[in-house]
Amino acid sequence: MLKKSKRLMLVASLFLVFALIFTAAVQAEVKNVILMIGDGMGIGQIDMTRYMAGGKDHKLELMKLPNVGLMMTSSTEGVTDSAAAGTAMATGHKVYNGAVAVNKNGAELDSVLDYAEVRNKSTGIISTNTVTDATPATFAASVKDRGMGGKIAKQILNNEVEVVLGGGREDFMKEEAGTDLIAKAKEMGYQYVSNEEQLKRVVPMNGKILGLFNDSYMNYIQDREEVDSQEPSLLEMTTKAIDVLSEDKDGFFLMAEGARIDHAAHAADVPGVVAETLDFDASVKYAVDWAREHGNTMVVVVADHETLGFSVTEPIKKEALMNIKVSPEYMAGKLVKTESGNAYTIESIQKVFKKYADISLTEAEAREFNSNIVNEDDGSLYYQYKVGWQIGSVIAEKNNVGVVSAEVRAKSDTGGHTLNSVPIFAFGPETEKFNGMMQNTEFAEILFEAMRP
């Protein structure tokens, strides 16, 4: 039989063990979830950014997170668009391309954001695209087609998502929504802001902010100085969102999207991908640093899909590419149309490529460029952003960039998305589950499970 002193020592030791286990369990509770989605950001975009920004062995902040996995990205149709991809990640259901959190019969699918609200957590969506675009919409709305921006805007407010920051002002106006949703938001107690300076001055107050910083998608980082943009960066939006949402004692769910990584990738725009990914990466660092300080916070970094098959090729012309300071879309806006209006002047094409990309096109190359930016159906010119895609493809080819060709992209229903798996990087409690290869629907299941009491 144990002596009394030894029994006391044993009891004390057991008590200490149980106390440590209990403390660890309490600390491991997921109070907050910060989901950061780099739209179109596959491993190629990550590698391109780290190489261009720092060198062959450089690591981005997101690459330093302790838990890493891989996610497959298909929709029910095969290669996914952002709506189907977002729906799978937000709801755990694969759907058709274009669907926003609805199944093939039009039935609404509950998202992890909905689940957070049921648990009395505050919620937020951020995007450098419009806040009504495919990815943010899949978390906060349910419609049969991603193009229903006005209806999505209504649902975002009706669902009382507390923090809404990004582009898309037009979808909240009467012409699109059928009513003035900005006025309605103010009546509902939202602080409304429309530029970077106003966002900086926001104080938590009642915890509801609507920030719409552009009528359409927000400007590329590369173009903001040229167009005298007054828009906040993704980092500034993420910082303010966490500041406001963290006032909720029950915790919060935040989805922050670096959307224009995808747009730059569609245009084979290496400097654009780098600039947008660096802004995204700075936001990741802030979120992780905040999580380290406050605890009980899951930070997950992922892409919805990969765009254009980016790779760092051995003969890539790094210096020439990083000397380009504006986007191909901006360059497209500087082209001069011919009198007929169905082509651009050869002189302006040559001038734009030389001025902004230091590329000297021959007259034959300029004529070929013209032939590649005309709609086959009616002979009209492509929209400016698609002219930018063609400019980017020429720049990429001249600088030995590894991307899907313009010819293949033109045949693609998604504009150049691929079936490439994408990496997951994660920090915080429960994130060791983001390990190995998983489906995008399994990704959602981990998020749901993490928030269950």
Catalytic residue among 82, 111, 127, 283: 82
The response to whether 228 counts as a known ligand-binding position is no
The response to whether 262 counts as a known ligand-binding position is yes
Closest CA to 267 of 393, 82, 413, 408: 393
Other C-beta atoms closer than 10 Å to the C-beta of 449 total: 11
| Active-site residue flag, 229 | no
**CB within 8 A of 134, min separation 6: which ones?**
81, 82, 83, 86, 100, 146
The response to whether 417 counts as a known ligand-binding position is yes
Tokens of 368: 């070929």
The response to whether 305 counts as a known ligand-binding position is yes
The response to whether 93 counts as a known ligand-binding position is no
The response to whether 269 counts as a known ligand-binding position is no
* Three-state secondary structure of 412-434: CCCCCEECCCEEEEEECCCHHHC
What does the DSSP 8-state code read for residue 344? B
d(CA 239, CA 250): 19
389-412 as b/e: b if 16+ CB within 10 A: bbbbbbbbebbebbbbebeebeee
Other C-beta atoms closer than 10 Å to the C-beta of 184 total: 17
The response to whether 304 counts as a known ligand-binding position is yes
The response to whether 257 counts as a known ligand-binding position is yes
Tokens of 10: 């044993």
**CB within 8 A of 160, min separation 6: which ones?**
117, 188, 208
Q: Does residue 84 contact residue 99 with C-beta atoms inside 8 Å?
A: yes
Tokens of 81: 């668009």
C-alpha to C-alpha distances, 138 to 135, 186, 410, nearest whole angstrom: 6, 24, 27
The response to whether 47 counts as a known ligand-binding position is no
18-30 as b/e: b if 16+ CB within 10 A: eeeeeeeeeeeeb
Which residues are documented as binding site for Zn(2+)? 39, 262, 266, 304-305, 417
Known binding-site residue numbers for Mg(2+): 39, 133, 135, 257
Binding-site members are 39, 133, 135, 257, 262, 266, 304-305, 417
Which residues participate in catalysis according to the annotation?
Answer: 82
